[in-house]
A and B are shown apart, each in its own frame.
Chain A
């Protein structure tokens, strides 16, 4: 559990970060909270000869809530999310989800940027951000660009972000309606057996729109457009729930691991989604 030797950098600004990335390419990586990256380095699954610590780079630690959107800096920690009352008022699902990530010690270190950039299917925030239709802003030598969370994830640890780009912020359209983040895990500190993020709008007792994303049930987070669509126009009754679950099951592709075999995961995914929708609907 000892990493191979590496150079440690702590640049003061983004230009410094980008120039090291440019110079060393694949051999360099940025580090935010380090709580995903350092374990990988210790297991020697990640080889990072040049490690760039982002902690001293300004301008990535803010949370701005405006009338129509929320901007969360990449270095905002999960603990910051839990503690920010304005944010919780504007998008309570963020706190509900963050409270189900790891434990307090890890949440003081783990960042939003690291969580969404990591590309680990076990991370909770990628699915959450897909549900919220967030946009990730990345910056590289060629300048800034925005990538939708729903287009960001390609495969496990493979994302639309280029190696030389840094994720600087996440922008979320102000969510409306009822919400729920439901997660089953084996214990505190565990990644999900299955998790569902749901935002749902109720218009006169009928579902006006529903956004659903699932976590740790494929090699990427799964935004299930079909599952959401199955609820729209219904009163979210039993038949609609069944349809949403069926649609979701068509989108996920879990694999067997120590949490259990595929049949179990599919079943639990259905149960978790049902509960998430029911809770979100009750809050809508």
Chain B
């Protein structure tokens, strides 16, 4: 048989890895045909919503629901007293703590759920909420974690024994009634010694402010209990649908096979949709009680004020070096404000996430990290907003410490980075705080980045600008922001990563149809990342069927194999690997079928793009399409019919994407307004599956980085009132505020990942935040600035200038 098409054309036809295939999801999203949770409308569906606390800390003396029950359309009002007999007034958190589902005697943060009003529609529910009368007795409010650790005020009486002693928490002994845990990594004494004896030591305290992932779609769910067959269907904005199923089963007692969790289209998650919320529990209970489907959808204020925030880390660092700039030691202490309940979404053994990646991209021989978690009167959360667990904090910390050290050494910060990078030949590299970095080539990436932006030229321009400023010729300063980050993503190896005891593997199940198309189902769930596009590309390259002939399905626990979901850039490193491995199982069977059809031994055929051909006789082949058909219509000795495979992939290690970013900013000293002139981002995420999607992810991540660095904040006043509960004050950038990003790349494949891919969704956020922040701070470095805290909004930038005496 002679083939008409060339090999290159066959490769192109697959639209496999490396192809900028258009996103298959976009046809529906751009036409308003997506199917989000709030699009779910079921017969007789009710609507539930919360009475929320106006106070940050108060005792609840009484709740009177009588008037609310009189409101037309209101069917029920649930309080903690109603949930208690079911044991559902509290629920476990992902961090080993427990959290009130509805206020049980007191409230610990403004906006806390106090009662759940169930009504025929959301208008009646809103009127019902107004009519519930709650009698509060205000208590002293603690919004400062340092104060909380000294205060007599007990936030969590439930965690104090009757004799006044403090039982251990989920992560060991607690030092104070408002203390949650102490977590350590590295070597304390050696680090302290190295720093004590060092010739150069730089110290800095920095606050990584509280912010919020703020996905465009808020959290919500529709719970539907079918009392006839005993089956609960729960549709919702879940980043981890299987984990939610298990949690719901564990806390409700409904057997897991009777629970079906569905994540439909999700309008962004960024960590906000990982945890379990009161809205889910109350909706399930309300559906069981009423026998009707019950919907709960947050509004924007609910979302910003109550469901999972991010960061709120007070970090204190010391870094030591030789006079030449070789770093010798790093010490970091964090006071972590977790709010009223510890509901961080981290792997069980990591109460501070992967904060111990804070040695960054540098060969630092000795290091020590200590994190203290603290309760305050703020909303719970502490999720990984577009980053792997606390990696944004870690990278911000080290990238600021490097800058501070450069100032101390009076050295160029790019050069300081270069002389401390882990060298290419040191990989796999075991860092002082324990992680084994899989692969990297930092020097190449750094040199490429600095060359691309003409770094030396920029510094010369900056020097001139400073001279002009001092001469009164301009009122604008120029900042050059640098950042080199190493991420740790793809959680994670089951040996050290689990969530609520569930190992953090992931999965893929593939069914090849007789006519040579396929469906693959995964344990992850896209929230905009384009899984339906990229996973089909991985498979196309692995099994030789066109990506356009492969359906990717996620998010329905009745059909998808068990997986831990999508966050922490884990989908490609873990589920992507499972996809490749399942594809290889398909290919292995296909090889046997091909050999049988071609009447040669299995070892005598080889895979070539979209077919198996006889070795040395490429004109003798069977295409994967033909093989698929044969799998269903031929009795092949020794082989079962069909062509299906499933793979559960337990990654041997994390992956470590990295990147080099440069930001050039002009700052109006008089108004504090920054103008981002240029942003260059080089990402190395290993093997690149779809360059267009990578670029989209980089643009999105950088934009969220810009937001966080330049203004996005969840701020509280002294009374614990949230001051930034709407998008008027919570900064969500539009196209107007966003610069034109220049993207670039190097490729250093992961040696342990089946296709060498590392994950990219979060890199730009992790690397972008310090880059924007460093640009602001660098502008003021010639005038004596060492560090100022984010967010760098106009007034804080203005204040920096003012404090430095630049306003004359």
Contacts and interface: CB of A to CB of B under 8 A. Distances in A.
Interface of A: 1-2, 4-5, 44, 103, 184, 186-191, 193, 258-261, 263-264, 267-268, 271-272
Nearest to A193: B794
Given A264-B799, A268-B798, 19 more contacts: A1-B300, A4-B130, A184-B794, A186-B731, A187-B734, A189-B728, A189-B734, A190-B728, A191-B728, A258-B715, A259-B795, A260-B798, A261-B795, A263-B802, A264-B672, A264-B794, A264-B798, A267-B670, A267-B807
Contacts of B122: 2
A1 B303 CA distance: 12
B711 A186 contact: yes
B127 A184 contact: no
Contact of B673 (A184, A264, A267): A184
Contacts of B711: 186-187
Contacts of B300: 1
Top 10 A-B pairs ranked by shortest CB distance?
A260-B795, A2-B126, A1-B299, A188-B736, A264-B795, A271-B670, A258-B729, A188-B734, A264-B798, A268-B671
Contacts of B672: 264, 268
A271 B475 CA distance: 12
B118 to A, nearest CB: 15
Contacts of A2: 122-123, 125-126
A258 B670 contact: no
Contacts of B83: none
Main secondary structure of the interface of A (DSSP, over half): loop
B733 interface: yes
A56 B529 CA distance: 45
A188 B795 CA distance: 17
A104 B122 CA distance: 30
Contacts of B734: 103, 187-189
A193 B729 CA distance: 12
Given A268-B798, A271-B670, A271-B671, A258 B299 contact: no
Interface string B719-748: 000011001110101101100000000000
Interface in B108-159: 122-123, 125-127, 130
A187 B737 contact: yes
A267 B724 contact: no
A4 B301 contact: no
A193 B807 CA distance: 18
A89 B728 CA distance: 33
Contacts of A260: 793-795, 798
Given A4-B127, A267-B807, A271-B670, A259 B728 contact: no
A263 B796 CA distance: 12
19 contacts: A1-B299, A2-B122, A2-B125, A186-B711, A186-B794, A187-B731, A187-B733, A187-B737, A188-B734, A189-B727, A190-B728, A258-B715, A259-B794, A260-B795, A264-B795, A264-B798, A267-B670, A268-B798, A272-B671
A44 B301 CA distance: 13
Contacts of A271: 670-671
Contact of B724 (A44, A184, A258): A258
Nearest to B673: A184
Contacts of B301: 1
A264 B672 CA distance: 10
A204 B403 CA distance: 55
Nearest to B129: A2
Contacts of B728: 189-191
A233 to B, nearest CB: 27
Contacts of A187: 711, 731, 733-734, 736-737
A4 B671 CA distance: 41
Contact of A5 (B127, B299, B798): B127
Nearest to B715: A258
B793 A186 contact: yes
A121 to B, nearest CB: 14
A263 B642 CA distance: 75
Contacts of A268: 670-672, 794, 798
Nearest to A44: B130
A1 B50 CA distance: 12
Contacts of B727: 189
Nearest to A194: B671
A264 B795 CA distance: 6
Determine which residue in B125, B728, B799 has the highest number of CB atoms from chain A within 10 A of its CB, and name it. Answer: B728
Contacts of A5: 123, 127
A263 B795 CA distance: 10
A4 B802 CA distance: 46
Nearest to A265: B795
B216 to A, nearest CB: 15
A189 to B, nearest CB: 7
B798 to A, nearest CB: 5
A100 to B, nearest CB: 12
A57 B633 CA distance: 74
Contacts of A44: 130
A22 B728 CA distance: 35
Nearest to B123: A2
Nearest to A259: B795
Contacts of A261: 795
Contacts of A267: 670, 798, 802, 807
A188 B737 contact: yes
A259 B123 CA distance: 33
Contacts of A103: 734
A268 B670 CA distance: 7
Contacts of A4: 126-127, 130
A268 B794 CA distance: 10
B577 to A, nearest CB: 40
Contacts of B729: 258
A189 B732 CA distance: 10
Interface in B761-803: 793-795, 798-799, 802
A230 B723 CA distance: 39
B449 to A, nearest CB: 29
Contacts of B123: 2, 5
Interface string B138-182: 000000000000000000000000000000000000000000000
A261 B798 CA distance: 11
A6 to B, nearest CB: 11
Interface string B294-319: 00000111000000000000000000
B291 to A, nearest CB: 25
Contacts of B799: 264
A281 B126 CA distance: 54
A272 B668 CA distance: 12
B383 to A, nearest CB: 23
Most interface-central of B123, B300, B798, B799 (chain A CB within 10 A): B798
Contacts of B723: 258
Nearest to A184: B671
Contacts of A264: 672, 794-795, 798-799
A190 B736 CA distance: 12
B299, B672, B724, B799: most-surrounded residue (chain A CB, <10 A): B672
B696 to A, nearest CB: 22
Contacts of A259: 794-795
Interface in B688-733: 711, 715, 723-724, 727-729, 731, 733
B332 to A, nearest CB: 30
A187 B734 CA distance: 8
Nearest to B122: A2
Contacts of B793: 186, 260
Contacts of A272: 671
A5 to B, nearest CB: 7
A45 to B, nearest CB: 12
A271 B807 CA distance: 11
Interface string B548-592: 000000000000000000000000000000000000000000000
A259 B672 CA distance: 11
Nearest to A190: B728
Nearest to B801: A267
A4 B125 CA distance: 11
A263 to B, nearest CB: 8
